[in-house]
Amino acid sequence: MVKDCLKGKPEAQRKLYEQFAKTMLGVCYRYTKSLKDAEDVLQDGFVKVFLGMHQYKFEGKLGAWIHRIMVNTALNFLKKNRKYRDEMYFKEQPLHPVAADNPVIDLQAKELADLIRQLPQGYQTIFNMYAVEGYTHVEIGELLGISDGTSRSQYARARALLISWIEKNSLETKNENYAGK
C-alpha cells in the first residue's frame, strides 16, 4: 500500500486514509478545542503524510510514523493559530508534587478525551504529550521551548485537575445511578 502511495495511486491513498483517519482524528481531537480544528489538523497531517511518504523508511510501524506526524502537526497548529497560541503560555512555577491518586477511570474514551480538552491549553498539551504520547519532560521541554521543570510542574497540575474532574464525574454518575434505583 505504501509503495502504491509512493507511486501516487489515488486508490491506495484513499485506502491508507480510511485505515488511519479515525484513529488520527482521535489524536488531533485531544490537542484541539473543537472538532473543526481537529479536522483541519488531520487534513494538514495527511497532506504531509502523502507528500512525505518517501521519508518513511519501513522501519517501525506505519501507524506510529503517521501518529508522530499528526502530533507534530497538531503542535505546529497550536503554535501558528493565535487562538491557541495566546492561551498556551507556560509560567515558570515551583515544582508541584505529583498526587498519588490513581483513580479508576470509569469513563468512556470520548468522555475522557472531552475532559482532557477542557484543561487549559498548556495543561492539555503537556498532559497529552506526557501521559498519552509518552514523551519525557526533557523532550517536551525541547519541543515546546520550555524547561523540563516547567513541564513537570504543569503536568502535575494538569494531572491533579483532571483526576479531580474524573472523581467528580464518577461521584455524579454514582449518585445518578443511586437515585435511579
Q: By CB under 8 A, name the one of 58, 91, 92, 145 that touches another protein.
A: 145
Nearest residue (CB) to another protein, 100 versus 179: 100
User: 86-94 long-range contacts, Cβ below 8 Å, gap at least 24?
Assistant: 87/120, 87/121, 87/122, 88/121, 88/122, 88/125, 89/122, 90/122, 90/144, 90/146, 90/150, 90/151, 90/154, 91/150, 92/147, 92/149, 92/150, 93/150, 93/153, 93/154, 93/157, 94/153
Residues that bind another protein (rule: CB under 8 A) add up to a total of 59
Q: Compute how many other C-beta atoms are within 10 angstroms of the C-beta atom of residue 123.
A: 22
Q: By CB under 8 A, name the one of 6, 95, 98, 171 that touches another protein.
A: 98
126 binds another protein (CB under 8 A): no
123 binds another protein (CB under 8 A): no
Which of the stretches 38-46, 118-126, 167-175 binds another protein when contact is defined by CB under 8 A? 38-46
65 — phi, psi (to 5°)? -65, -45
Q: By CB under 8 A, name the one of 31, 32, 37, 65 that touches another protein.
A: 65
Residue with cell 505546529: 76
Give the shortest CB-97-to-another protein separation in angstroms: 10
Q: By CB under 8 A, name the one of 31, 38, 124, 140 that touches another protein.
A: 38
Which of the stretches 117-125, 129-137, 170-178 binds another protein when contact is defined by CB under 8 A? 129-137
